[in-house]
């Protein structure tokens, strides 16, 4: 996994960055102007956790799924739902 090739000093940087984000996440997500940046950061963070530590990849996928469901704009989620129902109707009709 990727964790095996990271230099030792990078772990401290990653820990401090993650702790700072987690401590301030309610503020980041509550303020509309920073919500897209917070969303991108947390999805990237969980993607990296999944890539670096193989056994927790399912946890990372679960967290990304929950974040998408909770924080994507309703308009985007509606489009996804419409596309899914369109694909399902097409599949049933074929």
Structural contact between residues 45 and 28, judged by C-beta atoms closer than 8 angstroms: no
Alpha-carbon gap, residue 63 to 50, rounded angstroms: 10
Q: Convert the pLDDT of each residue in 59-69 to its tens digit.
A: 999 999 999 88
Q: Convert the pLDDT of each residue in 68-89 to its tens digit.
A: 888 888 888 889 889 989 888 8
The pTM for the full model equals 0.71
Q: Which domain holds residue 32?
A: 2-93
* Residue with the two structure tokens 């998408």: 68
Number of domains in the chain: 1
Among the listed residues 46, 70, 71, the one whose alpha carbon sits nearest the alpha carbon of residue 60: 46
CA distances from 32 to 9, 58, 62, 91 (A): 34, 29, 24, 38
């Amino acid at each position: 996994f990727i964790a095996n090739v990271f230099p030792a000093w990078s772990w401290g940087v990653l820990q401090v960055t993650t702790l700072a984000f987690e401590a301030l996440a309610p503020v980041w997500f509550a303020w509309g102007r920073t919500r897209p940046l917070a969303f991108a950061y947390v999805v990237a963070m969980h993607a990296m956790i999944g890539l670096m530590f193989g056994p927790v990849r399912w946890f990372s996928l679960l967290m990304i799924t929950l974040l998408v469901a909770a924080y994507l704009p309703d308009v985007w989620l509606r489009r996804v739902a419409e596309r899914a129902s369109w694909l399902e109707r097409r599949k049933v009709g074929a």
